Amino acid sequence: MFLNRQKELEALRSRFRSERPEFAIIYGRRRVGKSELIEHFLTGRPGVRLLAREEAEGLQIKRFSESLANYFKDEVIRKNPLTNWDALFTYIAERAKKRFILAIDEFPYLVTENKAIPSILQDFWDTKLRHTKIFLILCGSSIGMMEGLLGGRSPLYGRRTAQILVSPFSFMDAYGWLNTDIQRAVQAFCIFGGTPAYLLEFDKKASLWDNIRQKILRKDAFLYKDAEFILREELTEPRYYFSILSSIAKGKTRLSEIINDTGLDKGIVGKYLSVLSELQLIERLVPVTERRPEKSRKGIYRLRDNFFRFWFRYVWPHLEYVETDQQGYLLDRIIKPTFDNFVGQSFEDIMATFLMELSRQKMLPAHFTKIGRWWDRGKEIDLIALNEETYQALFCEVKWRERVNAEALLKKLRENAMHVDWHTTKRKEYYCIVAKSFIKKTKDAILIDLGDIKRMLKSSLSRSPSID
């Protein structure tokens, strides 16, 4: 099954219709659906996807040559395979007088084997390929390397005509697939996240706890070790990275806390945090009102992906329970007692995206340009949405709880807002409270419960991915 990415597909299709030579870079984390996107783009269009492997260069070229022979039904190169990159790209240039898509998937594997590949490709693009009707796609999961191809030091700099960063789905995008009770949908998204390969593992007919037990806590389950496999492919010293990720997952979010928890030197932790950020596995957050985020000393770290957050919080530290078939103990004694707290943290992220969508849809009292958390000297606000030009601010508390007293919470929210040092003399303030449900309401704040969220989602807040 493929969760359609209509926006990305339409971007590729419109460029295909242009008939101009195109050079597109497609990149993103593993399991996010890049290869499936390319395959769906190729459906009904002339072209071929060549999948690179971690193997010797000669074998790569031979396999590519065989794939091209099959596609073009060329018995000549079938019997006499191409032997080098110059011959391969020359062959492609000759066949691209008509519109033709050449997608090279896992391109970083080629570069690892031969670092001259970008230079060779640059030469052929400048002298031959850009004078054809080629639609060239380079695709890869190594985000650092793929972004390097876009940078000023790359031989390919300035050649690309498009780039697509394929990201995990937001909750609003994923909701159409989950297609279940809104509370259960939120919980499922907080476990499986927006990565299509993980999201498709969710069994809509099974209970939430059975999903965790059968899809994650079984030794033969795809999701049981996939996070570990992915990290071992990307990282050279995974044990240190695992320690850092586990530390962050259990709430050690400040640099000093991570150092104390892992026992690693400050320099090592700083270096590894930088690598994990480049891989888009973690992010550094600062209070949304900080004027120079890169200089802020208030930075904290958190895992970006819900599934990795769940795995490093509950699975990685307790592998022995799974290995000794004590999944029931792990589920009942460790996961269930803290699960609402875990969901509550991810629910804030869901609502941050949701509120910005409401802003774009003009369903809030003002238009906001950014949103994030705020904290200072022991005071915290879950979310603040800001407009730097109009000095409007929306202060928001997000509670994963039933029967919330909105009046009492609004009073506390107003008090905390007084400590927010952001255009205090001229800003216009609004307030918002989000909860599962309310026992006591107020007219002085925007109140959003799970029923409201469900109605807004179903009324066309966001496109929902369909399934092929």
pTM for this model (two decimals): 0.90
- Whole-number pLDDT of residue 3: 65
43 by Cβ neighbours in 10 Å (0-12 / 13-18 / 19+) ranks as exposed
Supply the mean pLDDT for the chain. Answer: 93
Q: Above 70 in pLDDT, residue 25? A: yes
Q: What is the CATH number of domain 171-348?
A: 1.10.10.10
- Whole-number pLDDT of residue 461: 44
| Weakest-pLDDT range from 147-161, 219-233, 302-316 | 147-161
Residue 149 pLDDT grade (very low, low, confident, very high; cuts 50, 70, 90): confident
Q: Above 80 in pLDDT, residue 297? A: yes
- Structurally, at CATH architecture level, domain 355-461 sits in 3-Layer(aba) Sandwich (3.40)
pLDDT (mean) for 96-125: 95
- Whole-number pLDDT of residue 150: 79
Between 272 and 179, whose confidence is greater? Answer: 272
pLDDT (mean) for 93-98: 94
**Residue where the block lists tokens 């589920």:** 331
- Whole-number pLDDT of residue 4: 66
Where in the chain do CATH 1.10.10.10 domains reside? Answer: 171-348
- Whole-number pLDDT of residue 160: 92
pLDDT (mean) for 306-327: 96
Q: Above 90 in pLDDT, residue 261? A: yes
Q: Above 70 in pLDDT, residue 463? A: no
SS (H, E, C) the chain: CCECCHHHHHHHHHHHHCCCCEEEEEECCCCCCHHHHHHHHHCCCCEEEEECCCCCHHHHHHHHHHHHHHHHCCHHHHHCCCCCHHHHHHHHHHHCCCCEEEEEECHHHHHHHCCCHHHHHHHHHHHCHHHCCEEEEEEECCHHHHHHHHCCCCCCCCCCCEEEECCCCCHHHHHHHHCCCHHHHHHHHHHHCCCHHHHCCCCCCCCHHHHHHHHCCCCCCHHHHHHHHHHHHHCCCHHHHHHHHHHHHCCCCCHHHHHHHHCCCHHHHHHHHHHHHHCCCEEEECCCCCCCHHHCCCCEEEECCHHHHHHHHHHHHHHHHHHCCCHHHHHHHHHHHHHHHHHHHHHHHHHHHHHHHHHHCCCCCCCCCEEEEEEECCEEEEEEEEECCCCEEEEEEEECCCCEEHHHHHHHHHHHHCCCCCCCCCCEEEEEEEECCEEECCCCCEEECHHHHHHHHHHHHCCCCCEC
- Whole-number pLDDT of residue 145: 81
Residue 122 falls in which region: left (phi positive, over 0), alpha (psi -120 to 50) or beta: alpha
Q: Above 70 in pLDDT, residue 2? A: no
**Who's near 346: CB < 8 A, 6+ residues apart?**
189, 190, 306, 309
pLDDT (mean) for 272-278: 92
Where in the chain do CATH 3.40.50.300 domains reside? Answer: 6-165
Residue-wise pLDDT tens digits, 372-415: 999 999 999 999 999 999 999 999 999 999 999 999 999 999 99
In the CATH hierarchy, which fold is given to the domain comprising 6-165? Rossmann fold (3.40.50)
Residue-wise pLDDT tens digits, 380-389: 999 999 999 9
Q: Above 70 in pLDDT, residue 465? A: no
Q: Above 90 in pLDDT, residue 19? A: no
- Whole-number pLDDT of residue 233: 83
- Whole-number pLDDT of residue 459: 74
- Whole-number pLDDT of residue 83: 94
Q: What backbone torsions phi and psi does residue 432 show, to the nearest 5 degrees?
A: -145, 140
Q: Above 80 in pLDDT, residue 335? A: yes
- Whole-number pLDDT of residue 460: 53
How far apart are the C-alpha atoms of 260 and 247, rounded to whole Å?
10
Q: Above 70 in pLDDT, residue 36? A: yes
